[in-house]
Structure 1
Amino acid sequence: MAESTSEAERDPGAREREATVPVPGAAAGGPISHAIFRLARLHRMFAGQLLRRIGLHPGQELVMMHLWELGPQRQIDLVRLLDSDAATMTRTVRRLEQAGFVRRRPSPTDKRASLIEPTAASYALRREVERIWIQLEDISATGFSDDERADALAVLERLEQNLVRADARPPEPDTGH
């Protein structure tokens, strides 16, 4: 009896081209959107694995990056910088505070606000975060030439600009479809 061979066995590159999440028929009209969804999910998963080793969760490193770069910030300013929402930022800052990576101190200019500032312990973490981001970039762009990396970045930036522009437009009336 002849054994059947899968496409991956016949074509070793086929497994690399397969979607990690099946594309449902309802998504057939949005192949780029579905690919973005799959890519974002995988990227976050790998980031989570790498960051977990140093005691962070995805997104927390972005808060730390801004604090290291800009110094103490009001929480509302972090919300704006990261295009987040207040509840998510509150949880993120609380967790970073419990881990000893940030502390709150009263704002010298606004008695109602406090500033979130990185601690000395967080500065020791900075090199690890930078190393993880380099590793994540290498994982994501393995096999890309310098030109392909530049092209990929340009396409991603254009997709982002399209979505930012669409978000700025007034909503279209619902046609009932």
Structure 2
Amino acid sequence: MGEPADCDVACAPAGLSMPASAAAGPVSHAIFRVARLHRMHVGQLLRRVGLHPGQELVMMQLWDGGPQRQTDLARLLGSDAATMTRTVQRLEHAGFVRRMPCATDKRVTIIEPTAASLALRREVENIWAEVESRTLGDQSDADRAETLAALERIETNLKIVARP
């Protein structure tokens, strides 16, 4: 075994500096860090209402679109079938969704929000407003619009290369 690591270097809190090996992608490294922190913060807030990150996105689709095929939910949210199945099972176990076979095609599963989930809607909307406020801080409306536009351009670029 080697010598014990120098704790000043090896035990420094994550995210304090960009590793030299990531220097070729500073924006990508920043996106990774921001996405990780954003997801952690959303997770902390969603725990208050019994949801995990990503589950609220399923609920939003159901609240706005009504009952939907499970495969359509997966497609809309960019999820694979197995992940969507687990998410729906967890939401069903929590009492927020109900699964039903399609009346015309028994191979198709329809997911619908329950009355219990409808009671969560306002709370989830408030959580998203809180996250938005904390994420953007004191940015002006113009800066917020510029941030959103830049993120949309990045998303468009990635959609082109990340097709399954």
Whether TM exceeds 0.5 here: the answer is yes
Q: Which amino acid aligns with 1:153?
A: L
Large movers: runs of 4+ above 6 Å: none
1:64 is aligned, of 31, 44, 59, to 59
Superposition deviation, residue 54 in structure 1: 0.4
3-state DSSP of counterpart to 2:15:
coil
- The amino acid across from 1:60 in the alignment is Q
Offset at residue 56 of structure 1 (A): 0.2
1:167 positional shift: 2.7
Deviations 1:115-156 (A, max 9, x none): 010000000000000000000000000010000000000000
Aligned match of 1:135: 130
Q: 2:121 aligns with which of 110, 122, 126?
A: 126
| Structure number with higher relative contact order (C-alpha < 8 Å, ≥ 6 residues apart) | 2
CA radius of gyration, larger in: 1
Indicate yes or no: 2:80 matched with 1:74. Answer: no
User: How many residue pairs align between the two structures?
Assistant: 151
Deviations along 1:45-103, whole A, 9 cap, x unmatched? 00000000100000000000000111111111111000011111111000000000001
CA RMSD of aligned residues (A): 1.4
Question: What runs of 5+ residues in structure 2 fail to find an aligned partner?
Answer: 1-13
| Identity score, percent | 66
The offset of 1:35, in angstroms, is: 0.2
What is the distance in 1 between the residues matched to 2:98 and 2:161? 37
Distance 2:16 2:55 in 1: 26
Give the TM-score taking structure 2 as reference length: 0.89
Deviation, structure 1 residue 20: 3.1
Q: Contact between 1:103 and 1:118, CA under 8 Å: does it hold in 2?
A: yes
2:149 is equivalent to residue 160 of structure 1: no
* Alpha-carbon separation, structure 1, partners of 2:163 and 2:41: 31
Taking structure 1 as the reference length, the TM-score comes to: 0.82
Pick aligned residue for 2:79 from 81, 84, 87: 84
